Structure 1
């Protein structure tokens, strides 16, 4: 899969710092929440989890992927969009038996880099917007008797705006220029049906599960 980017999203740790871990606890807490939101709103992964393509522990595997991405920033001094894309791509293939061919891994990676840069500048608007939308979706699930999806990231006690008790349902449809993975829901092809790659009306190649 050939990927062409105008901006690689490259970031590096400040001089004297061993990793990209944000030194301010509020910044780091919001970044971790933002990563969770970016992963949870990724439709390719959501469909795989809902269909238990990763087995009975599919939901836990999604949380593991979230932690895996967060750990990249804790352990690495340099990172870019392609690096995160490769981690997501390999995780989907290894844990869910899914080959992502629609480049949604790149979009998720771009969103994560964007969130990191914003949190580093104490700009948490994108994270708060994503979290509000997540809460709205969870409230809808509860109202209609659907299974809820709990985010496994601890809140920051010093930042009540992103606590689990926040019931604000006023979301911003503009999403603060956040690239949206939800616009085109990827179509997933079961491993029991071998098909040639299909391109949808928007030019995206559908996501297919690999055959064992």
Structure 2
């Protein structure tokens, strides 16, 4: 396989944005960032992953193999004490490879779709933090797909999640109750009674 062609300078800002949008819609990564599973600098680690991927694509003199990219994504999650066993790493890697090829050709239509999809998505995630090296605790119940994933796959070919740098708008509920099993039960924020 030939070494990669030089990346066109005019495509750089589009490709950077595409990487950021792609990773911002990856539930496993975003849950790790929002919950600081990698510590207080979890967001900085996610941003480093974006930069590492950009550099891998644009500065590498070696051919780009999807397996190498999958390893890079997996290492990024591991740095945040997170595992994804739902196939989302392969999905995200494939989307990034396609995005790179399109940007090399001056085609930015996928980035437009990503922009649109990032403004119309719900968060549905079942990602769990990895709590150590023990085999029993390293299993992860990870699911990066939401109820709207068929639409998302059509629009952007990506799993849905909250974007990097975006916080959840809802304020914490003041009527949370600690349950016996360690879960927090949150009551409705709607006032009780009939509307007049």
Q: TM-score, normalised by structure 1?
A: 0.57
Flag structure 2 segments of 5+ consecutive residues without an equivalent. Answer: 146-196
State how 1:43-192 maps to structure 2 within 5 Å.
43-77=27-61, 78-93=63-78, 95-135=79-119, 185-189=125-129, 191=131
Query: Aligned partners of 1:196, 1:58: CA distance in 2, in Å?
Result: 21
Residue 41 of structure 1 deviates from its aligned partner by 0.7
CA RMSD, 1 decimal:
3.0
Residue 108 of structure 1 deviates from its aligned partner by 0.7
Query: Aligned partners of 2:118, 2:52: CA distance in 1, in Å?
Result: 21
Residue 186 of structure 1 deviates from its aligned partner by 4.2
If you compute each CA radius of gyration, which structure gives the higher value, 1 or 2?
2
Residue 26 of structure 1 deviates from its aligned partner by 2.2
Deviations 1:28-60 (A, max 9, x none): 221111111111111100111111101111111
Query: Aligned partners of 2:39, 2:10: CA distance in 1, in Å?
Result: 35
Alignment CA distance shift 1:190-1:74 (3 Å): closer
Secondary structure of 2:71's counterpart equals helix
Secondary structure of 2:137's counterpart equals coil
Count of residues paired in the alignment: 140
Residue 73 of structure 1 deviates from its aligned partner by 1.5
Query: Aligned partners of 1:118, 1:51: CA distance in 2, in Å?
Result: 33
Of stretches 108-117 and 127-136 in structure 1, the one that deviates more from structure 2 is 127-136
Q: Specify which of 12, 19, 27 is matched with residue 28 of structure 1.
A: 12
